[in-house]
Amino acid sequence: MHEKQTTYRIGPIRPPSEANSLLLQITEGCTWNRCKFCSLYKHESFRAFTVDSIKKDIDVMAEYAKLVTSYQEEDGALNRKAVLAKFDGMTQDEKNCYYLVYRWLANGGENVFLQDGNSLAVKTERVLEVLRYLREKLPSIKRVTTYGRAETLSKISAEEYVSLKEAGLDRIHSGFESGSDRVLAFIDKGVTAEQEIIAGKNIKAGGIELSVYFMPGIGGKELSEENAMETARVVRAIDPDFVRLRSAVIKAGTGLWQDFMDGRIRLCSENDKLQEIKLLIENVQGCTGYLASDHIINLLQKVEGKLDTDREQMLAQIEEYFSLPPLRQKLFQAARRYGMVSEPGDLDLLQKDQLNRLEAFVRSVADEASWDEKMNEIMMDYI
Ligand code: SF4
């Protein structure tokens, strides 16, 4: 007799916007694994799980959901103490799975994220079967999202996206990173701008929301303007629902770091990256999506909003920063990267000796290239 399954797989990644989502792992790793800035799955090969095994994971989630909701009080709130009392006698893996379901339900029990890095690489029929089963077993779900590589997504037809939407897939996140073919080739993204556009158009034609990621600075100084302008061209062609900013950091140990060490790429400064964001905003006329700055890695976290109606206020914030004296800009960059402030105006809240120490630090860095390297080094801890 088989023992009853009491745990389910939980993969390593999800977008920050899915922090409260239930995580259902339908694949493991990434089919590409070659992007030069990424170290996520370097020691793992891609694996797709069988539909049967995914259904068993969903069954476990549904069991835990039933158990957790049995501790619902009259006002609808979950009795946390009673829920967590069930930890007694559970293994650590069981606790992790049970707690994820509890946290999900405590946050409304509405969103599910299908992991990992390129889940739609499996045959569409398999994803459809999983989606239908998931929606049937956990009826409180309102939104299901997943990650997909643009190259993979470009091979799925608009008709297939319609079926995926009907079965319950609502949003696809895709790391476009850039719309420049030269940048995409340099970072070995394995996709072209044309494929990004095909993917984006098919997804939107299928009625699924599209959330793409843009990396200001990923092409280095030489390709900085092109990175912004070509990304704007791709965004204009698609008008994604979300463009999420992930300012580039070149992390030690990656292929891009080796390029930097060998002199094949010069680091973009914080100001270069901001200039790319400004160019993007200025050149996406007619787009109505949302520019999201949902990562601490972006220098001006509050530069976000609707690409049409919030355009002027986003540009005004960037201009305000650029109008600061160069020393003040660097004081802010350092203070922000050391976690002391969020906005340029916050510098006024620092004490005199803190400002003095920051200024001594700024003045101690020999030149602009060393400064950019210093900022990049601090930011490595953020990703
Ligand atoms: S497609 Fe995504 S997960 Fe795969 S290597 Fe590139 S960045 Fe990493």
User: Which residue among 31, 32, 213, 215 has the greatest number of ligand 1 atoms within 8 angstroms of its CB, and so is best to mutate?
Assistant: 32
Give the nearest ligand 1 atom to 34 CA.
5
Our answer on whether the CB atom of 149 is closer than 6 Å to any ligand 1 atom is yes
CA 72 / ligand 1 centre spacing (Å): 40
- Burial (CB count within 10 angstroms: exposed 0-12, middle 13-18, buried 19+), residue 26: buried
pLDDT at 13: 82
For residue 114, give the amino acid letter: L
Instruction: Give the whole-angstrom CA distance, residue 293 versus residue 280.
Output: 13
Q: What is the DSSP letter of 312?
A: H
Q: Yes or no: say if 172 and 146 are a contact pair by the CB < 8 Å rule.
A: yes
Q: Are 148 and 240 in contact (CB under 8 A)?
A: no
| HSE, side-chain direction, 13 A CA sphere, residue 88 | 5
3-state secondary structure of 375: helix
Per-residue pLDDT of the chain (383 residues; tens, 9 = 90+): 568 899 999 988 888 888 899 999 999 988 999 999 998 767 678 899 999 999 999 999 999 999 999 999 988 899 999 999 999 999 999 999 999 999 999 999 999 999 988 999 999 999 999 999 999 999 999 999 999 999 999 999 999 999 999 999 999 999 999 999 999 999 999 999 999 999 999 999 999 999 999 999 999 999 999 999 999 999 999 999 999 999 999 999 999 999 999 999 999 999 999 999 999 999 999 999 999 998 989 999 999 999 999 999 999 999 999 999 999 999 999 999 999 999 999 999 999 999 999 999 999 998 999 999 999 999 998 88
Cross-strand pairs, 22: 112
Per-residue confidence (pLDDT) for residue 363, from 0 to 100: 96
Give the nearest ligand 1 atom to 177 CA: 7
For residues 82 and 257, give the distance between their C-alpha atoms in angstroms, rounded to a whole number.
49
Nearest to 300 by CA among 346, 355, 232, 267: 346
Contact status, residue 144 vs residue 197, Cβ threshold 8 Å: no
Could you give all domains of the chain from N- to C-terminal order, each with its CATH number? 1-147 (no CATH), 173-323 (3.30.750.200), 326-383 (no CATH)
Q: Is 33 in the pocket of ligand 1 (CB under 6 A)?
A: yes
What pLDDT, on a 0 to 100 scale, did the predictor assign at position 269?
A: 97
Cα(346) to centroid(ligand 1), Å: 36
Euclidean distance between CA atoms 176 and 193, whole angstroms: 9
**Number of the ligand 1 atom closest to the C-alpha atom of 33:** 5
- What is the residue with the minimal CA distance to atom 5 of ligand 1? 33
DSSP E strands, 8-133: 22-25, 27-28, 47-48, 111-115
- Structure token pair of residue 111: 């969103």
Pocket of ligand 1 contains residue 37 by CB under 6 Å: no
Which token pair is 293?
């700055």
Q: Specify the pLDDT at position 1.
A: 55
